[in-house]
Amino acid sequence: MNLRQLQYFIAIAETGSFRAGAQRVRVAPPSLSQQIRLLEQEVGGPLFERLPRGARLTPAGRALLPEAQAAVLAAQRGTRAARGALGLEAAEVEIATVLSLAVGLLPDAIQRLCEAHPGIAVRLHELAHRELLQAAIDGGVGDIAIGPTPEAWRGPAVSLGHEEFVVIVGRRHAAFATEGPVRVEALARDPWVLYPDAHGLLDLVRAICAVAGFEPRDAVRTGQVEAVVRLAAAGLGVAIVPANTVPPHLAAYARRLDPPVFRELVAYTRVDWSPQAGALVEALRAPGWPSPPAGAFVIP
């Protein structure tokens, strides 16, 4: 069993046919078929059910697939780590993160990283929920995870600081007339711009509202955090978003919450920090972070 055979196997499994798999890995179909036959001989049975219009994994193939994917990812990480050890300027960093951070926090940090290390390549994997993020990095996706505090994490982890959440109100909303903080319970009767059920920020918003004694009533739902800010600013409903996702031209629509709401963010990885992951952590820490004041609601 070799890496090339596993790559061919994954290509067929993900495309559903030998022909499409061969096109993905850019090899002639007979060569691909021969390598799969050798792999099947080694494991002792068929990995695919050959169909007239495709291929379907057998139970043995389904058992092999996640291990094959992990092996290929590990080989790719090894290549990147070796290149990174030769110098950050020719390295690549693969970041797994949640959707809101890809919009708000990471762009500036990546800019600082690339300015400090010209030529470094960045790859982003965006996940909708912190549980999906933790599962992805644990399964080999990405060199570094940036997100909320993971549960029972056994690898290296470092706190980056806390991000603050704000409420977005349109011009017609009563809170727009004042620059003071807004109490969450004052928003109980408002329509809300919310996130889809699978989005991690929906759980967060519901938790904030639950402490204030109500369930937010959705007027609009979208998974794009930048769209949530725009829709709320346009007056379609109120919304709670990370302060770092609010663009400067919409800052006038943002109000702090009373009490203020914060969430800790963490960088973590599986075994050891690669040089490029360590450089990203330094870039994330560069501007400094606000500290939750006394009495703030810190989301666990």
- Sequence ranges of the domains in the chain: 3-75, 81-160+265-290, 163-263
Residue 140: predicted pLDDT: 84
Architecture of domain 163-263: 3-Layer(aba) Sandwich (3.40)
Residue 85: predicted pLDDT: 58
Residue 81: predicted pLDDT: 66
User: Which of the following CATH numbers is that of domain 3-75: 1.10.10.10, 3.40.50.620, 3.30.360.10, 3.30.9.10?
Assistant: 1.10.10.10
Who wins on pLDDT, 71 or 239? 239
End-to-end C-alpha distance for the chain, whole angstroms = 45
Residue 157: predicted pLDDT: 94
What's the chain's average pLDDT? 90
* pLDDT tens-place string over residues 152-203: 898 999 999 999 999 999 999 999 998 899 999 999 999 999 999 989 999 9
User: Which of the following CATH numbers is that of domain 81-160+265-290: 3.20.20.140, 3.40.190.10, 3.30.465.10, 3.30.1600.10?
Assistant: 3.40.190.10
Is the per-residue pLDDT at 87 higher than 60? no
* Band of residue 88 on the pLDDT scale cut at 50, 70, 90: low
Rounded mean pLDDT of 34-40? 92
Residue 119: predicted pLDDT: 77
Rounded mean pLDDT of 214-243? 95
- Report the relative pairing of strands 54-57 and 48-51 from DSSP bridges: antiparallel
Residue 1: predicted pLDDT: 83
Matching CATH topology for 3-75 and 81-160+265-290? no
Q: Which of 138, 116, 136, 139 is nearest to 124 (CA)?
A: 136
* pLDDT tens-place string over residues 132-156: 999 999 888 888 999 999 988 989 9
Residue 243: predicted pLDDT: 93
Rounded mean pLDDT of 69-73? 88
Percent of the chain exceeding pLDDT 90 equals 60
Percent of the chain exceeding pLDDT 70 equals 95
